[in-house]
Amino acid sequence: MAENIKVRKFGLIGIASPIIGILAVLVSIYFSPWFEWPTHALSDLGVEQEGRLISQFAQEGDTQIATWTFNGGMIVAGLLIAIFVSSTRKTIPDNLMNKIAYSLIFIGGINLALVGVFPYSVSDTIHLIVALIYFIFTPIGLIMIGVERRTRDKNFAIFSIGSGIVSLVVIGGAVLGILGTPIGTIYPEGVAIPEFIEAVILGLWIGIAGIRVFRTGKF
Domain coverage including residue 97:
2-50+61-216
In a domain, 188, yes or no: yes
Give the total number of structural domains in the chain.
1
Q: How far is the C-alpha of 116 from the C-alpha of 139, rounded, in Å?
A: 20
Number of Cβ within 10 Å of residue 146's Cβ equals 23
- What digits encode the pLDDT tens for the residues 106-164? 999 999 999 999 998 888 889 889 998 999 999 999 999 999 998 888 899 999 999 99
Average pLDDT over residues 75-82: 97
Buried b (16+ CB within 10 A) or exposed e, 66-94: bbbbbbebbbbbbbbbbbbbebbeebbee
- What digits encode the pLDDT tens for the residues 10-58? 899 999 999 999 999 999 999 888 888 888 889 889 887 655 444 444 4
In a domain, 150, yes or no: yes
Is the pLDDT reported for residue 5 higher than 90?
Answer: no
Q: Which of 59-63, 202-206, 211-215 has the lowest mean pLDDT?
A: 59-63
Those residues with Cβ within 8 angstroms of residue 146's Cβ, 6 or more apart along the chain or in another chain = 156, 157, 158, 159, 160, 161, 162, 164
In a domain, 26, yes or no: yes
The mean of the pLDDT values for the chain is 85
Of 112, 126, 117, the closest CA to residue 67 belongs to: 117
Measured CA to CA in angstroms, residue 219 lies from 13, 22, 82, 199, 207 at distances of 13, 23, 14, 21, 11
pLDDT at 177: 56
pLDDT at 128: 87
- What digits encode the pLDDT tens for the residues 165-207? 999 988 876 666 556 555 445 555 567 888 899 899 999 999 9
In a domain, 56, yes or no: no
In a domain, 55, yes or no: no
